[in-house]
Amino acid sequence: MPRFVVEADGGSRGNPGPAGYGAVVLDPATGETLAERAEFIGVATNNVAEYKGLIAGLTAARGLAPDATVLVRMDSKLVVEQMSGRWKIKHPDMKPLAARAAKILPRAQVTYEWIPRERNKHADRLANEAMDAGKRGEQWEPSRSTAFAAAPPAGPPGDAAKGAAAVRAAMASGGGTGTRAAAAAGTGADTLFGATDAPSGDAQARAAEAAAVRAASAVARDTDTLFGAAEAPAEAPAGADGTGPRPAAGSDGGHATRTAAGTGTAAGTGTGTGWGPDMGAPATFVLLRHGETALTPQKRFSGSGGTDPELSPAGRRQAAAVAEALAARGTVQAVVSSPLRRCRETAQAVADRLGLPVAVEEGLRETDFGAWEGLTFAEVRERFPDDLQAWLDSPKAAPTGGGESFTAVTRRVSAARDRLLSAHAGRTVLLVTHVTPVKTLVRLALGAPPESLFRMELSAASLSAVAYYADGNASVRLLNDTSHLR
């Protein structure tokens, strides 16, 4: 089943006043723009324009594939909450528009997500182009639109926002038939942990085109094997008592939904005929979660503020198994570990097998869970219900007793990532770390929101991989692979 992202916006210069809407349909795997819609609608309110943008976006998505699942992203909290069924629709002008939007695609195929305005710039530019056209007494014309050309890249290396902007800018200027993210889709399992050099001349162009086609085909088939990822394990119980929200992203339970693999950057094809500048081999971070400790099967919070447990016998067996798997692959060139004991023991088992030293990076340590250390999710919910709910609701909230918020962890992990990228350009490096740092690196590469930390499965001794290119693009090549443990 195809998947699309619809971003929509609307505006009114006066509210009510001259109004217009914009909507864009995107391929979530590549960032490619599949359709744009915009229209000047005369005098209307902001909310009416926003709803009409939603209707236009959903209609465009249905025209591309009536069976598609669609994630709608808008910066209108009102529209998102009303269409999600959480807020009642009271205004008489909104009711028919909401009903019309709800009938375009079956309810089960559409989900809604609020995003900040700065993340909705494409649709916002389309809406403003439509209003500008109306001011001239004209209607918006796709051929005159410049909304596709994204703003200049901004952000640290490995963030999807920067990479996608770079690709869109290159495509808008006519450069390149694809990106390395697309090319990576066709390389197969043998290059998961290390890119091959790009071919030259005609062979290079043919390889790029073929890789882009393979990537598009894999997405269209709705597979989770774009980069050779293992099948997802069944979802585990939400907490120790089997009820309530999913366990913490950084707890030793590590449970969420299914395994997935995909690119974190735009990787669509442009209209030019060249490959574009050779960015060289990427720095590839192979992300290994440590083996089990005694706390892991009990699903207890185990961060950097607790007892620093050692590997259990099961954890040592897992470390040996992953060491054999990585030795067989033969691509890891350096090993870097969190300072915590369970990671250092896992890293040493792998490093001994590979004949490499272990470097320690403080920034790779797990979240400090404060007073929650050693407790199960159910115990935290019983003892600190308000603090737990605040933590689940906001990445800025810290655990009880002076723990770290996810916002603080993201800053720390991002800084560690940048240091390691600077030190290991073009190399394949094994990072032995914990649930939260692995999920954070994946989230940043995909440009996913903080709540995605609760939506990834990450098993003990599992392997994930992210490739980072010199232009800021990042490609998630693997997530939660446990095939070496079976």
Catalytic-labelled residue, pool 32, 50, 292, 366? 366
Distance CA 335, CA 345 (A): 12
Distance CA 72, CA 360 (A): 42
Distance CA 456, CA 194 (A): 24
Q: For the chain, count helices (H), then strands (E).
A: 13, 12
Element (H, E) at 122: helix 121-135
Residues 6+ apart with CB under 8 A from 105: 58, 61, 62, 66, 68, 70
Backbone angles phi, psi at 337, to 5 degrees: -125, 150
Cβ of 426: how many Cβ atoms within 10 Å?
A: 16
Distance CA 329, CA 428 (A): 12
List, in sequence order, every beta strand (DSSP E) within 47-199. Answer: 69-74, 110-114
Strands 283-289 and 463-468, sheet pairing: antiparallel
Catalytic-labelled residue, pool 32, 36, 39, 290? 290
Chain CA centroid to CA 384, Å? 30
Active site residue 434: no
Active site residue 231: no
Using a 10 angstrom Cβ sphere, with 0-12 exposed, 13-18 middle and 19 or more buried, the burial of residue 315 is: buried
For residues 470-480, b (16+ Cβ closer than 10 Å) or e, as one string? bbbbbbbbbbb
Token code pair at residue 65: 């594939």
Distance CA 462, CA 452 (A): 18
Catalytic residue ranges:
290, 366
